Amino acid sequence: MSRHGHNHSPSPSQLSLRVKALESLLVEKGYFESAALDRIVETFEHKVGPRNGAKVIAKAWVDPAYKQRLLADSTAAIAELGYSGAQGEDMVVVENTPTVHNLVVCTLCSCYPWPTLGLPPTWYKMPPFRSRAVIDPRGLLKDEFDLEIAANVQLRVWDSNAELRYLVMPMRPAGTEGYSEEQLAELVTRDSMIGVGLALAATA
């Protein structure tokens, strides 16, 4: 039976066994050691994530020169904070304003800026979000994310691809004038940087 010639999903236990067999063969052939795979998993589970992107956004909120660099050459400005590498080679930061809201999707798959946001949530990778984001973004945000974008606000949808990844700069919440960069970063959520949410409100 050839798996690549037919179209049914293997059972979960078959799939698990298949992946074990692939790892066993590649280790045996000397391409890498299993410990290297452990380190890759560890990095993405515990070291890379949306806190990186939140630091970028908070810095842009407090430092106008940085914000200008970030919007002019996002990849270089993000690298200034040490975030670069695979799946973040070419970054574009898009700014939310009182008249524009930005939403990021990858209709073809799951392209997402790994160095600044980590790995995407499951819903970002699944057909319902990918299909609807480009045909009914307002309805999608309202129905699924409880985010109503006013009719007079333009909604821009950015379709990511294997080379180019987008990061939304949410609007700085009102009442945060005295906040430090660290306090501001706490208000920047993953969802606000995808565009399915806003930055959190100031804590009184």
Partner 1 sequence: MNGAHDLGGMHGLGPVNPYPEEPLFHEEWERRIFAMYVATLFVGIYAIDELRKNIEVMHPTHYLDSTYYEHWAYCVEKSLIDRDVISEAQVLERMNQLAGEAA
Which letter does DSSP use for residue 131 in this model?
Answer: H
Note whether 125 binds partner 1 by CB under 8 A: yes
Handedness of CA 82, 74, 162, 55 (dihedral sign): positive
Note whether 76 binds partner 1 by CB under 8 A: no
Q: Are 188 and 119 in contact (CB under 8 A)?
A: no
The yes-or-no answer on residue 110 being catalytic is yes
For the bound state, the minimum distance from the C-beta of residue 61 to partner 1, rounded and expressed in Å, comes to 23
For the bound state, the minimum distance from the C-beta of residue 134 to partner 1, rounded and expressed in Å, comes to 4
Residue 132: how many CA atoms within 13 Å on its side-chain side? 17
Instruction: State which of residues 72, 76, 150, 162 lies at the interface with partner 1 (CB under 8 A).
Output: 162
Structure tokens at 188: 């920047």
For the bound state, the minimum distance from the C-beta of residue 9 to partner 1, rounded and expressed in Å, comes to 5
Burial of 149 (0-12, 13-18, 19+ CB in 10 A): middle
From the candidates 74, 111, 160, 192, which is the catalytic residue? 111
Note whether 201 binds partner 1 by CB under 8 A: no
Structure tokens at 123: 């819903």
Structure tokens at 179: 């906040």
Q: Which residue reads 């914000």 in tokens?
A: 67
Note whether 47 binds partner 1 by CB under 8 A: no
Q: Directed axis angle between helix 50-62 and helix 64-72, to 10°?
A: 120
Query: How many residues belong to the site for partner 1 (CB under 8 A)?
Result: 60
- Determine which helix (DSSP H) or strand (DSSP E) holds 159, and give its type and residue range: strand 154-159
Note whether 126 binds partner 1 by CB under 8 A: yes
From the candidates 34, 109, 131, 180, which is the catalytic residue? 109
Note whether 148 binds partner 1 by CB under 8 A: no
The yes-or-no answer on residue 13 being catalytic is no
- Residue numbers at the binding site for partner 1 (CB under 8 A): 2-4, 6-9, 12, 14-26, 29, 31-32, 36-38, 40-41, 44-45, 86, 105, 107-110, 118-119, 121-123, 125-135, 140, 143-145, 159, 162, 196
